[in-house]
Every structure is written in C-alpha cells, then in structure tokens.
A and B are shown apart, each in its own frame.
Chain A
Amino acid sequence: MEITFEHVTHSYNADGPTASLGLDDVSLTIKDGLFTAIVGQTGSGKSTLVRHINALLKPTSGIVKIGSRVIDSETSNKNLKSLRKQVGMVFQFPESQLFEETVEKDIMFGPINFGATEDQAKESAQKMIQMVGLDESYLSKSPFDLSGGQMRRVAIAGVLASDPETIILDEPTAGLDPVGRQEIMDMFKGLQKNGKTIVLITHNMDDVANYADDVAVIHSGKLIANGLPKDIFNNNDLLKNDLLTLPKSAEFAKKLSQKGFSFSKLPITIDELGTEIKQQLNGD
C-alpha cells in the first residue's frame, strides 16, 4: 500500500485558544514495500505525522491517502477498523498497552478485535511470540511478571499478530539493550523482506543507515528533506544546521578524510566504510 500525504497540516486544539501546529503543509509519499525512516528532533512532529496513517489523527487541512482510503478533516471516526487492521502501530513504550491476564490473551486481543476466530488468534500468538524472540512458555505468563524488554517484545507481538500490511514503529527500541535492539531491528527488516511496508521513527542514525531505504527529515512540523539515506547523510545543509547527526561510520570517515583519505560521498554503513578503506589503501 502506498501512503501519500498531500499538503497535510495538523493543528492541535484547532478550535481552542491554545491551538498549536503539529504538522505544517507536509507532502510526502511512503512507497509500498520500502523501509522508510522518519527522523527529527523531539517535538518536531514525527509522531503526529504517523498517527495520520491509521487515522488516530485527521488532517486539519490536506489529505492522506492510504492505498485506496482517503482521510481528510471530514472523515468520520466510524468504519476505521479495516484501515487499522491494515496499518499496525507500535507506539513509543508500547508495554503500557498490556492488560490481559496472560501474554497469549494479550497478543490475541488485536486479531480478535479485527474479526479473527479464537483459533486463528491463538495460532497467530504462537507464531508471533517466537518471531519476537521469546519461546512458547511465555504465553501462559502474566505480562506484568516480565522484564521491561520482554514486555516490549510482547507488545510488539500483539501488534504484528493482526498481520498488518504496513507497520509503523514509533521509537520501538528506545531504552532497550544493544543486543535486543539489533534483534528487533533485524526482525523488522525481515518483515519488510516478506513484503511489509515499514515506517520507523528513530533517533538512531545507525539504524537509519543500516536498515532504511528512504529517509524523511521533519523539523518544526515541516518536511525538510526526503531521499536515500546516503544522500541525506551527505546533505551538508542539514548537517551544518545540526538538523541531523551522522551514523558512526560516516563520522569515522569524516575523521579519516582529515588524515588523507578522501570520500566522494561519506559511507554510512560499516560495510561501505570497510570497502572504501580497503580500496583506498590498495590504491596507494
């Protein structure tokens, strides 16, 4: 499903005296099957942007197209279930959404709301718990007896269980340990390989470099850049104004270039960096 924002403006408390602009005339296309990263400072409007994709928020003006669905300011709050089944959303700190007696029931909650039978939901729970790296013995535990990282995984399983076509991730690895974060990121990349569209909000530029096909940079509610990670991280205007930081590999390459190396474009992943260094050393 392709997702298109056309001149979307969102104003919080639009009718009150405290109106504040969350998004300002954003036009953006999120391509089907790609891994799109959304970056920007805290408060820049990233969460506001993605909440439009499953109509938790509606544009104050402009339209959002999700496949064949069109959402504008007039869209009714009813009949959004089919859209929300297609667009799964993992919120920031999703562990706070857990409420059932057992992990299994919690994972089944979404599928059943979206019309799956008990058996289908159970099957889905068994599949998803393994997908997020926990074994089936967790299914019968109470979600409140788990560690923070395990709760996070269960919450993610609960969103994936409804088998959404598009998966939105709002800082899904914030506060996780490095190994856990890599496992979870790899799992998301795997989902993309199986045909899902992934939208990831993150502050981790290494994740952007390693996993994303496309990057959108948001600043003060505006889309200020959109393109390939490699191009975005070589955009000097963004870097100069501190609107973006570099991934570690690019940072390292920058230091190398002060010591005699030269890069036409900064490499952004370890692999790219390694290849470049090897070439330049052999070339000498």
Chain B
Amino acid sequence: MGRYLPGDSLIYHLDPRGKFLLTFYFVGIVFFANNVASYALLLAFVLFAVYLSKINFGFFIKGLKPVFWLILFTVILQLLFTPSNNPIWHWGIFTLSKEGMVISAYIFMRFILIIFISTLLTLTTTPIEISDSIESILKPLKRINFPVTQVALMLSIALRFVPLLVDETTKIMDAQRARGVDFGEGGLIKRIKSFVPILIPLFVSSFSIAYDLAIAMESRGYKDGEGRSKYRVLSWARRDNLTIIFMIGLTIILLFLRSY
C-alpha cells in the first residue's frame, strides 16, 4: 500500500464509499478463485483497474516491497510442505510436488491481487476520503448511540498525522545519529536502548501537536456532536452504479469459471 498520489482519472473520481466497499468485496471474492481461469479473470480485472487509474505501474510493485518476505516465506512453505502422493522430490520433512507448486502459485496470485487492489485504493483515495466513507458507512450505528462522528474525527486526525509523525521520526533519528547513536548496531539490549532517544521526543512532540490542535479547533468553535455540516460532500454518481454492475458481472463470471 502507498500514500495517496494526486492524480486525475476515472478511478479517482469514483465515490470513495463505493471504492472502499468494493475493495473489501474484491478481497473477499479473491478467495473464490480456485483454478487458472478464475485467477486469470481476477488478474485481468485488477490490471484493467490499474490501467484505468493511469498510475505508473512502479507504484504497485513498490506496494509489494514491505510484504515481500512474507510472500516469499508463505510461498516457500506451501511449496515444500504440501503433502502429496506422487512427489517429484522428497527429503526428510520436505516434499516438492506438482500440487504444491500449483497451490503456491495460487497463493502468490492471491497476495498480488489483494495487494494491488488495496494499493489502488490507497493511491487514489485520500485518507480524509476514506474516513469520510467510514463515517458514512457507519451512520446507521448512530441509532444505537454509537459516537460515529467522533470516531470518524479521531480517525481522520490520526490518518492526517501519520505522515507527519513519519517525518518527525526521520528528523529525530537524524538528530540522534548526528550525536553518535548507531541504530541497529550492537546487541539486542543496546538496540532497544537506542530507541529511547527517539521515542521520548516523539511522544513529547505528539502531545504538543495534539494540544495545539485541540486549542486551534476550540478557538475556531469546534463542538462535537450533532448539527455539523460537511465541507466535503460525497456524491454517488452513475459511474458508481456502473462500477457495481461491473463488479456483479465479474462475480457471476467468476462463479461460472471456478471449479467445484
């Protein structure tokens, strides 16, 4: 997944609520695929969506980086530990077989599909849009007195501050490096200790940011609860209906292609 990337294409203009729910829906139906044809269909769909987004493919490859080891580990695990009646190669507890290869290829495909589609969501949807969507989706819970607006506000503030904290962390790490700290050197205890000079300044600055923000919001008259109007109004358009219809079509073909 990646940070939001400003851009302009159909995918950007889709209603974030639809994008958000359909992304989850897609992640769900990935688990229905169980043969070459069905995986090929889903891959074609994801690549088509990537194409429509007009985003450089490199960003999607980059989305794989943080989970690269997880993917490799899972795939190798499947490859070597899938039990089989006619293994190609066998050594101790390890078994290499055709079934194992097929299963690990499918698992690999699942990772790719899920990561690409969620990268597509995060690249084309601002964190604020995502939290607005969550608020809108959770709205029915207001009836049981669930504090939807407050939760959504907390969420959007948290999302807003993630990049800020990342920058702050880099800055503090650089400052302590300049004072002779070696991160990731020495024994375990030494390594853990070397994070104290980062964590404390980070806490201090988070609290002061939070405090400033609270004062700024209050002085501009923020009051939580009912009656707040929205600056960003989400609007559901025809293209969003079409996307849903497209998704239903995809599901039907998928159910048709998968083997039972």
Contact = CB atoms under 8 A, between A and B. Distances in A.
Interface in A51-108: 51, 54, 56, 78, 81, 84-85, 87-89, 91, 94, 96-99
Interface residues of A, number: 26
B212 interface: no
Contact of B174 (A56, A81, A109): A56
Interface stretch (B15-23, B110-118, B195-203): B195-203
A97 B201 contact: yes
A142 to B, nearest CB: 11
B207 to A, nearest CB: 10
A110 B175 CA distance: 11
Interface size grouping (class) on chain B: 20 to 34
Contacts of A99: 196-197, 200-201, 204
Contacts of B181: 113
A114 interface: yes
A17 B56 contact: yes
A54 B175 CA distance: 11
Contacts of A114: 180
A17 B180 CA distance: 32
Contacts of B200: 99
A221 interface: no
Interface string B28-60: 000000000000000000000000000010110
Contacts of A39: none
B204 A109 contact: no
B205 A91 contact: no
Given A78-B185, A88-B178, A162-B179, A96 B171 contact: yes
A84 B180 CA distance: 7
A144 interface: yes
A97 B58 contact: no
A159 interface: yes
B127 to A, nearest CB: 17
A110 B201 contact: no
B176 interface: yes
B65 to A, nearest CB: 9
Contacts of B182: 78, 81
A144 B201 CA distance: 10
Given A56-B178, A84-B177, A84-B178, A91 B197 contact: no
Contact of A113 (B56, B58, B179): B179
A9 to B, nearest CB: 20
A158 interface: yes
Contacts of A85: 180
A283 interface: no
Interface string A220-260: 00000000000000000000000000000000000000000
B168 interface: yes
Contact of B180 (A78, A81, A98, A144): A81
Contacts of A178: none
Contacts of A89: 175, 178
A98 to B, nearest CB: 7
Given A97-B197, A113-B179, 10 more contacts: A56-B178, A78-B182, A81-B182, A84-B178, A88-B178, A91-B171, A94-B175, A96-B204, A97-B176, A162-B180
**9 tightest CB-CB pairs across the interface, nearest first?**
A113-B180, A17-B58, A99-B200, A97-B175, A110-B179, A89-B178, A114-B180, A99-B197, A91-B175
